[in-house]
Amino acid sequence: QLPTGLYKKVLVIMHDSILPYMNEPTLMIDFLTVAYGIGGAISLLALNGLFILIHQHNLEYPDFYKKLYSLLDPSIYHVKYRARFFHLADLFLSSSHLPAYLVAAFIKRLSRLALTAPPEALLMVIPFICNLFRRHPACKVLVHRPNGPEDMSEDPYIMEEESPSESRALESSLWEIRSLQNHYHPDVAKAAAVLNQSLSEIEDDISGLLELSAYELFDKEVKKKADDVPLEFEQIRGLFGKKNDIFAEHFSLD
């Protein structure tokens, strides 16, 4: 058992400063699989090393995708290792040989968690989901299901189910993305509206969106040039625009 801080320091540099210089990188299999099972940020950081062992050293991890699926929780859109996680998730879900139920489960879970995600994360995850639809056309039934969310008395998808195969994601409909089409941020609503049309065959490049921050979004909005500037306006008289409301008695705008 290692301290959490030490786990993080080692795992951050494992893929580029340790494994490439080992004569037998497979000696790290036990350490990385244990770290991957701990959960939280440590599991996210263990993904880099595991990817190298799976990709270059023929490591077999039977429950790998089940564990990857379990890592998807509300914090995934807020942790500072978000870019690293989604970069690797993109690689792990790139194979066209993955079963449709598995990819559908990832799409559905990411969409459900997106309902409470910040705008900078949504502008990354929506193109990510669109790329999954391009790679796995069988999952498009989630978007184009006849009489989708309108005729469903309840969503058959089981959010609490740990196994993707038992989550019933393929029986569901992607109403979450439709909800995001009414998002308060116009860029998010525009990105979500793409699923209303036929997707192009060319995948979106999400590499430039992985590190997108709230500051960059705010800075972009501030620097926008407005074409039509209103020249007349009614001056605010109270906290909520009314002169004699109860708030005006207790609060002042001065």
Is-contact 61 50, C-beta < 8 A?
Answer: yes
Query: What pLDDT sits at residue 115?
Result: 92
Mean pLDDT over 49-59 rounds to: 83
N-to-C CA span, the chain: 58
| Residue with tokens 């880099």, as numbered in its chain | 48
Q: What is the pLDDT of residues 240-249, one digit of tens each?
A: 666 667 777 7
pLDDT by residue (tens digit) across 177-216? 989 999 989 899 999 999 888 888 888 888 888 878 888 8
Residue 50's nearest CA partner among 36, 66, 70, 40 is 36
Name the residue ranges covered by the structural domains of the chain.
98-223
Provide the token pair at 211.
């590190």
Instruction: State the pLDDT at residue 244.
Output: 67
Span 94-141, pLDDT tens digits: 887 889 999 999 999 999 999 999 999 999 999 999 999 998 988 888
In terms of C-beta density within 10 A (0-12 exposed, 13-18 middle, 19 or more buried), how is residue 195 classed?
A: buried
Model confidence at 92: pLDDT above 70: yes
> Which tens digit of pLDDT belongs to each residue from 2-24?
788 888 888 888 888 888 888 98
**What is residue 53's predicted lDDT score, i.e. its pLDDT?**
86
pLDDT band at 229 (very low <50, low <70, confident <90, very high): low
- Could you tell me which residue, 62 or 183, shows the higher pLDDT? 183
What whole-number distance in Å separates Cα of residue 213 and Cα of residue 209? Answer: 9
Lowest mean pLDDT, pick from 39-48, 149-158, 191-200:
149-158
Q: Is it the case that residue 84 has pLDDT exceeding 90?
A: no
Tokens of 236: 């605010």
pLDDT given for residue 16 in this prediction: 83
